[in-house]
Homo-oligomer: A and B are copies of this chain.
Amino acid sequence: MEITILKRVLDKNQNKADEIRQLLKEKGIIMLNLISSPGAGKTSLLERTLKFFAKSMRLAIIEGDVATDHDARRLQSFGFPIVLINTEGGCHLDSNSISKVLDHLDLSQLDMIIVENVGNLVCPAAFDLGENHKIAIVSTTEGDDKPVKYPALFREASAVILNKIDLIPYTNFRRDEFYRYMNGLNANIPVFETSCTSEEGLQAWYEWMRQAIVPPGTGACII
């Protein structure tokens, strides 16, 4: 019975996600779904990213949080539309909430929507939001075995951001083990090693974002 209901919830979520994906395709908008543990650096990454693209990309942010508007407030100053979805205890965003938010955004004015999911490495991976790319963010301080311990996300992600590399000298994080685990799950995925504190490695991530909004086959290049 519970399994039937869970299947129905997931099916309903999937149908709405497919609708969203179709709508965004028609509008020429790419959507990213940022997923990580609490405190891995999603909001810090967004602060850097929004600052960098303030004048060269038309972005909107959908901010998912269990409670508070802390993260949404941190992102207010960059001039992009930000919508907060407060899940009030819920452990992930779903496509129905995203769909309602899209009704309130001017989609004709956007290149990309970035969703910051609830801080959780498990549940958000199971709920398609209609995104083009799941982005897994993992910090070095969480240890090198997170990909193999939480494999669903790392298998499905289009890119991984390995954040807080400035802290590696103070931890027991083993880079070779991390890549060994990643290769076992998703061998060809780009991994961006970053520090949102020192700003190391962020340029490669920005370049990936730029490429993500280029329509396939057009040869267009946004500089």
Q: Identify the A interface with B (CB < 8 A).
A: 1-2, 5, 9, 37-40, 65-68, 70, 89-91, 118-123, 126, 139, 141-143, 145-146, 148-152, 164, 166-167, 170-172, 197
Contact = CB atoms under 8 A, between A and B. Distances in A.
Number of copies: 2
B70 A150 contact: no
Contact of A38 (B66, B142, B166): B142
Nearest to A91: B122
B141 A167 contact: yes
A171 B170 CA distance: 11
A122 B66 contact: yes
- Ranked nearest first, the 4 interchain pairs of A and B with the lowest CB-CB distance are A39-B142, A141-B141, A91-B122, A37-B38
A7 to B, nearest CB: 12
A70 B126 CA distance: 23
A65 B167 contact: no
A29 to B, nearest CB: 28
A70 to B, nearest CB: 6
Nearest to A43: B143
Contacts of A9: 2
A89 B3 CA distance: 14
A141 B171 CA distance: 11
A37 B170 CA distance: 20
